[in-house]
Amino acid sequence: MATLKVGKSLQDTDVLWRYLTLDKFIDLVDSKSLFFAPLAWYAQTDPFEGYVPQVAMEAMASIPKKFQAEQAVMLEKLAQMLPDEAAPQLRKLREDVERHVPTMKAIFKNVSSCLMVNCWYKSSHESEGMWGLYSKNGVAIKTSVGALKSSIISTDLNPAIHLGSIKYIDFSDASLTPPDCVSEDGQLFGMIKRIAYSHEQEVRMYITRDRRGNMLEIQDPAPMRVSVDIEKLLEAVVISPFAGESISQSVRAICKWAKVNSNLVSKSNLLDNCEYLLDAYS
C-alpha cells in the first residue's frame, strides 16, 4: 500500500507550490495523479542530479574497493592450496572479483538515474523567479505538506513515497566531510544539490525503483504516476502574473471542466498597479 513518509525537515503546515505549464496543469487535473520523472531526465538542466560531493562519493566507493581487495587476498591464499586442475575456476573467480568495483559503480549510477521525483517549492509566498523559470504562462498550485499527505490515494501497487527538503551544498568546499553530505532527513541520493540551485527552495517527493528481483539489474529510467484526490490536494490555483487574458480564461475554463472549486482560482497580483500607495499623500 502506498505510504508517504515525511521527513523531520517538514511540518504539516509548511506551504508548498508547484509551478506548472498549462499542459502539465491539464494533465494533473485530468489524470488526477502526480507525475514522477526519473532523475535521468534532468541531466540537461542539472548534470549533477543524483550525485554527491567527492568526499561522500569516495566514502561510498571505499566499501566495494575494500571488499574487492579482501576477496583478492583470499583468492591468492586459496590458489596456493588448490591443485593445478582448479586453475580455470580460479581464473573465473578472479574475473568476478575484478568486476565488483565497476559493477558497483554502474549500479550506483543506475539507481540514481532511475530515482523518480516530483518537485515542489517551499515558501509562504509565490516567487517571481519561479514564475519566470517554470510557469511564465501557466499556473502555480498551492498546497501544504499536510494536504499533500492526505491527498495520496493508497493502492496495493504503489510503493513507499518519501518527502523531504533538499540540502544545498557547495560541492567545491574542501572542508566537507561525509556527514555534511546527508540531508536533514538522513537521505543521500536525489536529496543533495549544488548551492547554485538553492533559489528553488525545493521539497521533493521521491520513489526508488523496485529491485527485489535482481539488485544488480541495470534498468531503464522510467516515470511513474501516483493517484491523488485533487480536491484534497489543491488549496489554491494561481494564474501567472505574466499570463494574458486568454490564458487566464483558459485556466478558469479548465478548472470548471475539471470541477475545481472556482473560489480557489485567482490571478497573481504580483504585477498589480502600485499607484494606490501614493494615496498616502492625499
Tens digit of pLDDT at every position of the chain (282 positions): 567 899 999 999 999 999 999 999 999 999 999 999 999 999 999 999 999 999 999 999 999 999 999 999 988 888 888 888 888 888 888 888 899 999 999 999 999 999 999 999 999 999 999 999 999 999 999 999 999 999 998 766 667 899 999 999 999 999 999 999 999 999 988 999 999 999 999 999 999 988 776 778 899 999 999 999 999 999 999 999 999 999 999 999 999 999 999 999 999 999 999 999 999 998
Would you give the distance in Å from CA 232 to the centre of its chain? 22
Q: Do 114 and 219 belong together in one domain?
A: yes
Residue 122 in 3-state DSSP?
A: strand
What is the number of structural domains in the chain? 2
Give the residue numbers spanning the domain of 84: 56-107
Q: Do 231 and 149 belong together in one domain?
A: yes
Q: Do 153 and 63 belong together in one domain?
A: no
Q: Which amino acid is at 74?
A: M
Neighbours of 176 (CB within 10 A): 17
- Boundary residue ending a domain (89, 107, 125): 107
At which residue does the C-alpha cell 593445478 appear?
84
User: In this structure, is the dihedral angle defined by the CA atoms of residues 50, 52, 54 and 59, taken in order, positive or negative?
Assistant: negative
Q: Do 137 and 14 belong together in one domain?
A: yes
DSSP state for residue 207 in the 8-state scheme: E
- Boundary residue ending a domain (39, 73, 107): 107
Q: Do 18 and 103 belong together in one domain?
A: no
Q: Kindly report the length of the chain.
A: 282
Q: Do 168 and 251 belong together in one domain?
A: yes
Q: Cα separation of 139 and 131, whole Å?
A: 8
The pairs formed by 184-190 with CB atoms below 8 angstroms and a separation of 24 or more are 184/7, 184/8, 184/9, 185/7, 185/8, 185/9, 186/7, 187/7, 187/162, 188/52, 188/56, 189/50, 189/52, 189/111, 189/112, 189/115, 190/39, 190/49, 190/50, 190/112, 190/115, 190/117
Residue 278 in 3-state DSSP?
A: helix
Q: Cα separation of 241 and 139, whole Å?
A: 9
Q: Do 216 and 243 belong together in one domain?
A: yes
Q: Do 192 and 177 belong together in one domain?
A: yes
Q: Do 74 and 196 belong together in one domain?
A: no
Look at residue 158 in the predicted model and tell me its pLDDT: 61
- Boundary residue ending a domain (88, 107, 126): 107
Q: Is 259 left (phi over 0), alpha (psi -120 to 50) or beta?
A: left
Cα–Cα nearest to 194, from 163, 227, 172: 172
